Structure 1
């Protein structure tokens, strides 16, 4: 980069001030102006090489104030040479932290190496980066303090795997905030869900169950368990499952795919679960079960109902629920599911009075819940 290229924002005197300025303030200002020019102008290879020579001088021998001006100005710039970024990331904390938080030219290898031997402030800085690969988060889980790991868990741009999360849980087995941060992740590896389920109690356990799919057999075991904390709703868990066919098969193998269970699922609006349940019980493919369940007339549902060996006394309740499903118009709003469940349960309760007491109590409880949920949404909007 020649002086002529920099004439708009940086004179030859500025370059001299950067290298041999009388005060740190003069040199810091000259450094800032050079860095701004580097960050905003498309450079030729020759200009870039010249700029890098100047920056190398700054990094090697300039005062702290000058180095900080460089780090802050180019902390998010893709034009900062990677080797200079790596040096600044190992500088004193006030200079390193901005780079560790923001620099796109620091690679995973740099970040992992730094994590292995730095103080918590730099670990927190890395945890706050816009994106974090599984390689980096695993290093965080292996070497960082629990607070930095929690910071990364709350970072929506951070990717985690079961290896890293499991390591963090093993290192900090009693850190409630760490467990809570994992539960709040949008996606949780199955192995981590299992590990957390074995440790959590109370409200946090409930949130884990409500938000993340348990492995089918584990969900069934927890629901069967008489421990107070294992109040797991297998119907709610069904809505979280990616492989519904396998989930339904496990329910069947464990004797949980009962007529009452299928009716409850239908009233809760878990229609996909009901379709797979009929397919499993009737021994037919899901696509055929779908056609029979959603037959516009009465013959299809009755045919699969009988083939699945469902009790005839429950047929009117299933018929009423399917009618509600087909009559309901969805407008694409967040209230669709709430309105659908409320109407479904009310119709079944109104038209079918001989529901077993256990199912009746379950449906009444769910009706109260959806009413409360609808009221909360109404108050929030109002």
Structure 2
């Protein structure tokens, strides 16, 4: 059967099939009945419904067809109903969760789908379905935030290319932050209409030459000031003379490194790779202040995680700032060498459980630290 041959020409009103005939066909599993049912459904889709709502009988026809029909029938239904504002909501949701070739027209265009429906697709359906949701024109800020929260690179990239999405200021900031580790986001974001000058200046530090030109064409970027800040922070302070470092008091060194972190943060140069480098250069205090600042934590909480019997809290803090879980085991060994074999090895290796979003990791870190503090107070 060739599907193209099934699509009928415009029909006069008298040829529009009756609901009772279509319901009988829907309950008939023979190939001939299926073909006639498809022709009848297409005729109904082409006809103008008498009102904004279908009768319960017609709704049952559509839903029965979607659940029992062959793939080709469901695909035609999806294409025909994609822009119909009278389509049954139950049927539209069934098609939205079907295989992606069937679901794509519905996810892209159906006016029936609400935020709750799209969020359900984000949770229950495949990565391709999530990408289709992120590309959907004019998705709400609620849906856009859900996409950002999940942190899937391909879905985030689809959202970055969707210029009609209702991105909040915070959502745009988080997308820019994700572009530190996801290179595919950088190009679309430099051209995004909601990119602000402040965010563009942040991105300027980690994009390539071509994208820097694109940013400079849209915004005023003080390249000289950025260069000076980076040089002073990284070259002028990160590698001080050994004689000065060895003679410095521990408190003075700690304060110096805290000021360095503040300067890096102000210059937009504080990121996960810098913290890994600090550990490799045996700068424990620099790592503590950097992790606290980048994650929005306090330095005492980071030190508590470093001295804990388990590395779980420290892992969550590192995940919250974008340190990859594949890097953490090696970094943990180096930190223990600098910190009297702490954190301890109690508990399971949480980094083997799978990745989690930066927001979830930050929340888990704060919860663990709060629990530890509460236990300590109870013990005292």
TM-score, reference length from structure 1: 0.49
Larger Rg: 1
